[in-house]
Amino acid sequence: MRIGLYPGTFDPITLGHIDIIRRAATLVDRLVIGVAINRDKGPLFSLEDRVAMIEAEAARLSGTGGAEVTVHPFENLLIDCARDVGAQVIVRGLRAVADFEYEFQMVGMNRALDNSIETVFLMADTGHQAIASKLVKEIARLGGDVSKFVTADVNTALRNQFD
């Protein structure tokens, strides 16, 4: 069974993330969405809320691309998380050249830690390249409409955070 790991903070999950999940699910038999705890980023949503949002979206996607989609919170090294879930592939989404520079360094470090786990990059769909969770949160905080960037459920969760 080919297992892929798509890691991120997902604070919150956006349509860009969902696009990568949908496409990655066609490449593997099981896709694990690794939800990073990452206290340094100071997430808006609790780990439990982020996991619940992702599980709701994953339930809609599971099996549509051929892969089972599951959610796995983690706080250890990404490469250790990949080992924990049995992933042979780490999936990363790229929006722009700036993303590539950071991801290029991460791949090098991860390969040094375990060269048996490959990293695969999926370019963001052109309609989603501008979407970043940080910007979505800022727009929502300032009362803007983020419905073009997130699902209806996530939009509601964002409004509830800022109302």
Indicate which residues carry an active-site annotation: 17, 41, 95, 133
Whether 13 contacts 154, CB under 8 Å: yes
Strand 68-74's sheet: what is its strand order? Answer: 68-74, 30-36, 3-8, 89-94, 118-123
